[in-house]
Structure 1
């Protein structure tokens, strides 16, 4: 999920040249992806996620009522820096809460497991 979001939204600066991450054709290692998730990503409060979902459903344009989280730069090596937008940082963990057709998600599976203990 994080690799996909980076390809969709992030940019990379190499040797002072900025380009979309997708055109750089970089496949990050699992260790780097995990480090990005731990250091850069976070889960929004439920109310904020609801506001984002409502704005996304009602308008394809940004109307200014939803302020994105701050972007962050993540160093890949000596001459490469990934610019990770706030939208990636904030919504990379949404896959954990996405429900399948049975209404199950990773979160509900964990809760069900805890209830059986």
Structure 2
């Protein structure tokens, strides 16, 4: 008699607690290959998301969301799940150039994204 294959639940490593997670779909701007946990900023004019970089001057310099899956948008803008609220592990985040963890924490806290 063979053993049936067992599947076990493996919680998301990005999540860091039981605070409610609110997800949405965001458009990831073309030209990026981002990992899950990327801290995103939103371009004011296009409403597309970019990896948040401090030197940006298009609105994306302000952290606004966390990418919830790996996304390859090098061939064009693509839809992807983003976290708008919840608790995330700092060790799983990917920060853009010049963005510190302290700045990301402070900017995301009022949006109910808590970094632990």
Superposition TM-score, scaled by structure 1 size: 0.21
Larger radius of gyration: 1
Flag the structure with higher strand content.
2
TM-score w.r.t. length of structure 2: 0.21
Point out the structure with the larger helix share: 1
